[in-house]
Amino acid sequence: MTHASIEHYRAVIAEAPGPSPWCLGQPASDLSTHDKKLTWERDPHVGPTELIDSDRQTYALVSIYTYVRRINPTQFVVWYKSGTPQAGQMQFELYEISSLQPMTQQQACSGRLKKPPFLAAMPPIAQLSIPRNQAVGSDGTNFPSEFAHCPELFVLVSNDNTWDNVELNLWIIEPATQQIRVVSQEWFSRGSYDFGYQWITRIARDPETRLLIGDGIRIGQFMLNEDGTQFLHWLDGWPTINAHH
């Protein structure tokens, strides 16, 4: 295993997808093409985040805590939590970037009112729902064949009680091989954190060292071992708000 600088690890996590609205303006969620610049914009006081062009036409609407990741030049994947606390799921949807078209005024207005996790004028080319109550360990999935070229995904899944104990798990998913590995993040779930005020937002794998790099809201950047089972250290020092390790 090689070692890398802190600046290198920070660059890795900067390229990772994160939840809306905080991370949509970063590279992983850029859905622009060579002939069309699309940007994410949100009124902080009302409504979902909107994907708009230079003429301010709306191409997609994204509500809070939805992930959008461009996986190659032509496709992007979206994932979000759906269902009830008793029967919750993680929803995965695959879209073609070339199919992105401006929404009608009616579609956009309806979406702003209903605030679905993700809304575009066209349907996904493939989708899958996985129950959130996956047991810790490894198991198989049944991602549709359209996901075959989707790279490794890092999906953070917690229960709905964010005030006492989040019971945070990390799903490491390889759609191409139909594998999912569920890893408990007890270092965070059992830590002295202000849940609901501090939380982990994203994880990425460093291609050089194979270590996992993460960050969060009011929590800083950190490093896990290769399989995500062990907290290694903070990249920028201990968080300063009600947290320690």
Q: How confident is the model at residue 86 (pLDDT cuts 50, 70, 90)?
A: low
Model pLDDT, residue 43: 77
Burial (CB < 10 A; 0-12, 13-18, 19+), residue 211, is buried
Q: What is the pTM of this model?
A: 0.92
pLDDT digits (tens, 9 = 90+) for 186-232: 999 988 888 888 899 999 999 999 999 999 999 989 999 999 999 99
Residue with tokens 């408990």, as numbered in its chain:
184
Which residues span the domain enclosing 12? Answer: 6-234
Token digits of residue 134: 């996956």
> What integer is the mean pLDDT of 75-91?
89
Pairing of strands 89-96, 75-82: antiparallel
φ and ψ of 230, to 5 deg: -140, 130
Q: Into how many domains does the chain fold?
A: 1
- Residue 129, classed as helix, strand or coil, is strand
Beta strands 153-157 and 169-174 are antiparallel
53 within domain boundaries: yes
In a domain, 78, yes or no: yes
Instruction: Tell whether 241 is covered by a domain.
Output: no
Contact 103, 56 (CB under 8 A): no
Domain-embedded: residue 133: yes
